[in-house]
């Protein structure tokens, strides 16, 4: 058996960058793990995760999918307990993967940048499982990270927005150098994070150097007054 790594994977730019960096570092990533919450979540990226099977096929790594019931994140009294509860389906899936006869689970990759709320829980989970955590974005400069993604050839689309200054025109837009320049202006005016770390926007990677084929998808823009998301329709690999 070899040392197997599992990439905690939504298909968004941060988890995709963590996966890409892991592959560049020579880690044997044998599985992607995607959690599909039924509703809102404190712990997980939720928009457009239905594209994960296409992303996994393009990357060429087996995908494990977990679809827990609605976490009830819209009505929470104890955020800490909520985060712990939301992590349980992921930890259960990792234990099942580790129990496989052909698996020697060494660690997981995660795309955390600044969220101590999420990262502390993932670290604690890794400690319980006796595995390592590879988090190459953690503590890095967000602008430098975005520029590195662009330079590497990531094609990133914005699939959800929820912040002052981000209107319906951002839905489906490419997250690139021009978008980043505008986001930096919005950071000065409204405090928008250039990577969307506070939930201001969410993304999906449709192409990159770690992918054999580009994801193409059609969508409807759903706008809800001060926020919106893309509703993915037909999707395929080019």
Write down the pLDDT at residue 115: 87
Average pLDDT of the residues in 9-29: 97
Write down the pLDDT at residue 75: 75
Nearest to 146 by CA among 204, 205, 194, 207: 194
Write down the pLDDT at residue 14: 96
Write down the pLDDT at residue 68: 84
Which of 9-13, 32-36, 196-200 is least confident? 196-200
pLDDT of 48 above 70 = yes
pLDDT band at 79 (very low <50, low <70, confident <90, very high): confident
Q: Where are the beta strands (DSSP E) in the chain?
A: 3-8, 29-35, 62-66, 104-109, 132-134, 155-161, 201-207, 215-223, 228-237
Q: Where are the beta strands (DSSP E) in 101-211?
A: 104-109, 132-134, 155-161, 201-207
pLDDT of 1 above 60 = no
Mean pLDDT of the chain: 93
Tokens of 220: 């409807």
Average pLDDT of the residues in 34-38: 89
Average pLDDT of the residues in 48-58: 96
Write down the pLDDT at residue 43: 81
Which residue has 């959800």 as its token pair?
160
pLDDT of 71 above 60 = yes
Write down the pLDDT at residue 121: 93
Write down the pLDDT at residue 122: 95
pLDDT of 77 above 80 = no
Q: What is the pLDDT of residues 116-169, one digit of tens each?
A: 889 999 999 999 999 999 999 999 999 999 999 999 999 999 999 999 999 999
Write down the pLDDT at residue 103: 87
Write down the pLDDT at residue 150: 98
Write down the pLDDT at residue 38: 79
Q: What is the dihedral of CA 56, 38, 66, 221, to 10 degrees?
A: 0
């Amino acid at each position: 058996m070899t040392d197997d790594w599992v990439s905690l994977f939504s298909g968004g730019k941060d988890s995709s960058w963590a996966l890409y960096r892991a592959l560049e570092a020579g880690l044997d990533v044998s599985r992607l793990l995607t959690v599909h919450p039924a509703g809102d979540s404190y712990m997980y990226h939720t928009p457009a995760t239905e594209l994960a099977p296409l992303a996994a096929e393009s990357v060429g790594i087996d995908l494990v999918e977990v679809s827990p019931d609605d976490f009830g994140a819209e009505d929470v009294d104890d955020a800490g307990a909520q985060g712990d509860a939301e992590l349980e389906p992921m930890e259960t899936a990792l234990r099942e993967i580790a129990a496989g006869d052909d698996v020697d689970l060494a660690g997981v990759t995660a795309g955390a940048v600044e969220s101590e709320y999420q990262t502390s829980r993932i670290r604690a989970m890794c400690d319980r499982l006796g595995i390592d955590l590879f988090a190459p974005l953690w503590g890095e400069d967000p602008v430098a990270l975005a520029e590195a993604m662009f330079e590497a050839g990531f094609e990133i689309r914005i699939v959800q927005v929820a912040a002052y200054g981000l209107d319906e025109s951002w839905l489906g837009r490419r997250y690139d150098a021009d978008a980043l320049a505008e986001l930096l202006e919005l950071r000065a005016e409204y405090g928008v994070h250039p990577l969307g770390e506070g939930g201001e926007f969410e993304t999906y990677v449709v192409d990159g150097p770690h992918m054999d084929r580009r994801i193409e998808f059609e969508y409807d823009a759903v706008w809800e007054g001060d926020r919106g998301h893309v509703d993915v329709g037909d999707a395929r690999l080019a």
